[in-house]
Structure formats: structure tokens, C-alpha cells
Amino acid sequence: MEMISPTTADGAPAPARRGEDRILTVPNLVTTVRLLCVPVFLWLVLRGPHHRGWYPAALLLGALGATDGIDGFVARRFHQVSTLGKVLDPIADRLLLGVASISIIALGAVPLWVGPAAIIREGLVAAGFLAVAALGGRRMDVVWAGKAGTFGLMAALPLFLAGHANDDWHRVAEVLAWICAVPGLVLGWYAVFTYVPKAVAGVRQGRQVGEVAG
């Protein structure tokens, strides 16, 4: 679970931990590899007729979704948390989920309402984070519901794709996709509403800190 950035007793942002300005870390490498796999996924879903690349694309997307928490776990377990990683990881999540949703919608492999519901949710979260930063608020981390929702959708999308591919278990894949998609969307949209008071508080505290510093 990720929480709001820590503060000191007087409400000011806590100083960065030693080493958080590092760039070359194992978690950042994992996140970068996940980002580089996005064009590979696009190539797989677009290549050849008769859904030839859909099953490999589903496997790749499933693997990328499964590795979503690995970079964060490694960062915490081996004390390699970095400022770059805190920014890069949610960007990778938003980009991967957005590209996967749009691609699978275009292919007709996902119900029309599921993809837009996921894309709009991701867009609102991204815009909210940027708005808080632009207003001088404290940086917000993703809450557990948001991460769980993203994970559910990242599991559902490759299953929807596999459900329309030319493989023997496509019907089972489609059932599993719905089992993951429904709670993923519920948790994801629940997280959107939990961010609102956190964003307001973050902006207020950020301005207070700025006024004291000024």
C-alpha cells in the first residue's frame, strides 16, 4: 500500500531519505523495461490477419501486469526507493493501461463500456495528480484501492484479448476477464473519490509550507 508523502511534526514535507535522488537502481530498471515493452505489445496485436498475434500479446500484457508490484517491492525490500521511481512507476502504469485499453477497444476484444471506463478513470487520476503539483501541493502516492483496481484491470485486459484469440481456452479466459474487470473498475473508481480530500489537503498544506518559507 502506498500513502501520502510523509511530513514533519509541523506539517512540512519531510526531507528526502538518503539515496532517494538515485537514478540507476534495479526497480527503475524494471519499470523502464516495462515501458519499453509497450511498443512490442502494439506490434503483436497489430501484426498479421486472423488474430495471429493476439495470444502472444495477451501473454506479454499479462506478464507486464503481473510485474506491476515487483519494482515497488524491490525498492522497499532493498532500500532502493528513489524520487524518479515514485514518478516513473505510476507513469508506466497509466501508459500501459491506456495503450492496452485503446488497442483492445480498437480490436473489438473488450466490451465497449469497459475500456472507456478504465481510460476515463486513469485520465482523471493523472490530471488530478498534475493539478495538485501545479497548485503547489504535496505529491500524492497511489492508494491501495487504486493499485488494486489497476491490477484488476491489467489482469482483465489480457484475458479479454485471449478470450478473442485463436486458442483452446478462450471461453475460460473471457469468464476470468469479467471476474477481474468488475472489482477492478469498482476499486479504481472508489480510489478516484478517495483522492479528492487528499488532494485538497495536499494543496492546502503545500501552500501553508510555501507561505512559511516565504
Domains annotated on the chain, with CATH? 26-213 (1.20.120.1760)
Q: Is the pLDDT of residue 12 over 60?
A: no
Joined grid coordinates for residue 203: 494543496
pTM, entire model: 0.69
- pLDDT tens digits, one per residue of 37-87: 889 998 988 876 667 778 888 999 888 877 777 777 777 777 777 777 777
Percent of the chain surpassing pLDDT 70 = 85
Quick check: 200 and 144 in contact, CB under 8 A?
A: no
C-alpha distances in angstroms, 138 versus 39, 56, 88, 110, 202? Answer: 33, 41, 17, 37, 5
C-alpha distances in angstroms, 20 versus 62, 76, 85? Answer: 30, 12, 9
- Cα separation, 90 vs 133, whole angstroms: 15
- Cα separation, 128 vs 195, whole angstroms: 8
Quick check: 1 and 72 in contact, CB under 8 A?
A: no
